[in-house]
């Protein structure tokens, strides 16, 4: 079975039931319309605020786009890029590409024009479908991407260098194309987050997508009664692979365009959401807004919300402890994964293991894990080594980069680049990225440990620890600290707070600034390193 078969099944069994709901709270905010006005005023003052499609609509739209691509000359094995904000069209377009046997190539909506061109060239893209937010960027590179012969635009006022997806697809057949697909066929190219340089193109087969469906549904037990709130960008493996559990269960999902705490709780309340996947900053923003009295839980219907889970970056235990105090009835899970292992799920905590918060968990369903030394040999429990994973969701390769592929894929194991340890109960604790380890005076310092400690400070909203070059000890730990709005914190406060840490782990430099994160929640440490030393060795006055 391939993943498009699940969509066909859902259309057959649940055709008239809702599959996807798109909500755009900013439309109400711009028009200064309240929820009640939206629901009661006729004619509807914001008709695009809430859009819905059924499972039959979903499958029909996928078939129409597949047939449009085939008419345009796209064939099995070609590459079709998607450059869209989260919207109701995104997933039918994705599945339409898969139905042709072509390879879907989702692009990061934050890419600059040059980065878009780089990825289109690297993935050898034949067709591009994009939305109104990207007209300017595509126009800048339009003449530089001659290989992308097919350019389709989603929305009104189609630019001259593209054709209208809406008009062309509407005239195409609703019948599914007859393309033979197997789990061994290539399915999608996802790009690495680029937090360590230019993104790599990660090629996955159809079996990876099915692995994601099965792993996610096994971990979180989606049923037909569930409703999943999807907030992160669909171009990333994280959000979409969690939604794959809903696809397997035949349950509906809500695409929320926006991350404000009140928008999230409104959506959960009004759409009767049962499962929410959050990134660390969003969970913290919700808790902060509640603590400040800006949000009152009694204003929302939240009793049906059964599960909150987090992934995409290390999760501070202090954050989950705060969450459980505010939402004691919620099940909680930590998800760990990489785009190379088809997103989250190769390791997960498990909702039954809340007592182990702080660990990323154990091997996920269908997955195996090992922690190894520099020679690839397993290390004793309790010792730090590199986390490796193996399972049916592993990437096929880095597209057109055999050297990079060989460096991380060895005998069916993916070397993740994450340093970890396993406790006596078999739970894995993430220590840090291999490339982020700070070596100071011969001591290994793992930034995540310091970051987790500093997040316990009541005034700290976010923190990133990086190494700054130092002539004497090689590197010192510098903490970039983002303070919660309305609160005051001085360098002396942080220094005093860090006294319980071993001396070598205490940050030697304190910097108050915003902490940049990419759309999937990862701290963009290369930006911080460039900002604070730009590759130059610096002299730092240590204070303790």
Domains 3-258 and 307-433 share a fold: no
- Per-residue pLDDT band for 530 (boundaries 50, 70, 90) equals confident
Across 437-455, average pLDDT = 78
CB atoms within 10 A of CB 474: 15
- Per-residue pLDDT band for 313 (boundaries 50, 70, 90) equals low
- Per-residue pLDDT band for 368 (boundaries 50, 70, 90) equals very high
Under 8 Å between Cβ of 290 and 241: no
Residue 535 in this model has a pLDDT that exceeds 70? no
3-state SS assignment for residue 238: helix
Q: What is the domain class of 307-433 according to CATH?
A: mainly beta
- Return the CATH fold of 3-258: Rossmann fold (3.40.50)
Across 276-297, average pLDDT = 91
Residue 540 in this model has a pLDDT that exceeds 60? no
The Cα–Cα gap between 151 and 264 comes to 34
Residue 442 in this model has a pLDDT that exceeds 90? no
Across 75-101, average pLDDT = 98
Q: Which is it for the CA torsion 207, 189, 72, 152, positive or negative?
A: positive
CB atoms within 10 A of CB 19: 26
Nearest to 130 by CA among 173, 170, 166: 166
**Could you check whether the bond before residue 225 is cis, i.e. omega within 30 degrees of 0?**
no
Residue 413 in this model has a pLDDT that exceeds 80? yes
The Cα–Cα gap between 479 and 452 comes to 12
The Cα–Cα gap between 63 and 139 comes to 29
The two three-digit tokens of residue 61, written as one number: 């739209």
Eight-state DSSP code of residue 380: P
Percentage of residues in the chain having pLDDT higher than 70:
92
- What pLDDT score was predicted for residue 543? 32
- What pLDDT score was predicted for residue 432? 66
Higher pLDDT among residues 42 and 97, named by residue: 97
- What pLDDT score was predicted for residue 16? 98
Under 8 Å between Cβ of 264 and 276: yes
Across 149-157, average pLDDT = 96
- Among 113-122, 141-150, 413-422, 443-452, the least confident range: 443-452
Nearest to 101 by CA among 131, 68, 78, 129: 78
Residue 43 in this model has a pLDDT that exceeds 80? no
- What pLDDT score was predicted for residue 197? 54
Domain ranges of the chain: 3-258, 307-433, 437-532
Percentage of residues in the chain having pLDDT higher than 90:
70
- What pLDDT score was predicted for residue 534? 60
Across 65-89, average pLDDT = 97
Nearest to 234 by CA among 88, 67, 69, 59: 88
The Cα–Cα gap between 78 and 344 comes to 27
CB atoms within 10 A of CB 107: 24
Mean pLDDT, the chain, whole residue set? 90
- What pLDDT score was predicted for residue 281? 79
How, if at all, do strands 150-153 and 127-130 pair? parallel
Across 105-116, average pLDDT = 90
Residue 277 in this model has a pLDDT that exceeds 80? yes
Residue 539 in this model has a pLDDT that exceeds 50? no
Across 188-199, average pLDDT = 74
- What pLDDT score was predicted for residue 532? 83
- Among 122-131, 292-301, 302-311, 470-479, the least confident range: 470-479
Instruction: Encode pLDDT of 459-476 as tens digits.
Output: 999 999 988 877 666 678
The two three-digit tokens of residue 150, written as one number: 């097919």
Instruction: Encode pLDDT of 395-407 as tens digits.
Output: 999 999 999 999 9
- Per-residue pLDDT band for 542 (boundaries 50, 70, 90) equals very low
The architecture of the domain spanning 437-532 is 2-Layer Sandwich (3.30)
């Amino acid at each position: 079975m391939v993943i498009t078969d699940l969509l066909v099944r859902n259309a057959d069994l649940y055709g008239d039931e809702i599959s996807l709901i798109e909500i755009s709270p900013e439309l109400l905010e711009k028009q200064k319309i309240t929820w009640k006005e939206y629901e009661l005023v006729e004619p509807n003052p914001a008709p695009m605020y809430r859009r819905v499609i059924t499972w039959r609509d979903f499958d029909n739209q996928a078939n129409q786009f597949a047939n449009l691509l085939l008419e345009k000359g796209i064939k099995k094995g070609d590459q079709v890029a998607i450059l869209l904000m989260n919207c109701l069209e995104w997933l039918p377009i994705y599945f339409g590409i898969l139905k042709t046997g072509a390879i879907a190539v989702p692009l990061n909506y934050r890419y600059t024009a040059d980065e878009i061109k780089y990825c289109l060239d690297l993935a050898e893209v034949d067709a591009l479908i994009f939305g109104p937010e990207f007209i300017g960027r595509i126009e800048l590179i339009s003449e530089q991407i001659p290989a992308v012969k097919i350019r389709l635009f989603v929305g009104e006022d189609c630019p001259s260098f593209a054709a209208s997806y809406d008009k062309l697809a509407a005239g195409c057949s609703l019948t599914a194309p007859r393309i033979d697909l197997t789990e061994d066929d290539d399915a999608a190219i996802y790009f690495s987050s680029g937090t360590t340089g230019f993104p790599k193109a990660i090629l996955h087969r159809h079996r990876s997508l099915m692995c994601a469906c099965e792993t996610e549904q096994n971990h979180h037990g989606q049923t037909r009664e569930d409703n999943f709130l999807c907030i992160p960008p669909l171009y990333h493996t994280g959000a979409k692979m969690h939604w794959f559990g809903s696809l397997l269960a035949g349950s509906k999902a809500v695409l929320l365009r926006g991350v404000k705490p009140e928008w999230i709780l409104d959506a959960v309340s009004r759409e009767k959401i049962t499962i929410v996947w959050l990134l660390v900053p969003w969970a913290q923003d919700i808790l902060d807004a509640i603590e400040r009295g800006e949000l009152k839980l009694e204003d929302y219907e939240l009793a049906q919300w059964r599960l909150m889970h987090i992934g995409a970056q290390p999760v501070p235990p202090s954050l989950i402890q705060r969450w459980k105090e505010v939402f004691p009835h919620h099940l909680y899970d930590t998800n760990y994964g990489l785009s190379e292992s088809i997103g989250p799920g190769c390791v997960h905590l498990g909702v039954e293991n809340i007592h182990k918060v702080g660990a990323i968990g154990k091997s996920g369903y269908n997955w195996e894990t090992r922690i190894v030394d520099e020679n690839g040999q397993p290390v004793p429990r309790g010792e730090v080594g590199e986390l490796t994973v193996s399972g049916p969701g592993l990437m096929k390769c880095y597209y057109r980069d055999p050297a990079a592929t060989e460096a991380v894929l060895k005998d069916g194991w993916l070397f993740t680049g994450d340093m970890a340890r396993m406790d006596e109960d078999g739970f894995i604790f993430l220590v840090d990225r291999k490339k982020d380890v700070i070596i100071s005076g011969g001591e290994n310092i793992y930034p995540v440990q310091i970051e987790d400690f500093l997040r316990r400070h009541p005034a700290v909203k976010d923190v990133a620890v990086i190494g700054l070059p130092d002539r004497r000890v090689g590197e010192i730990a510098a903490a970039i600290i983002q303070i919660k709005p309305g609160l005051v914190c001085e360098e002396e406060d942080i220094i005093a707070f860090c006294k319980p840490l071993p001396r070598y782990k205490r940050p030697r430099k304190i910097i108050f600034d915003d902490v940049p994160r990419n759309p999937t929640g990862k701290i963009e440490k290369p930006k911080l390193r460039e900002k604070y030393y730009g590759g130059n060795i610096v002299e730092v006055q240590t204070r303790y």
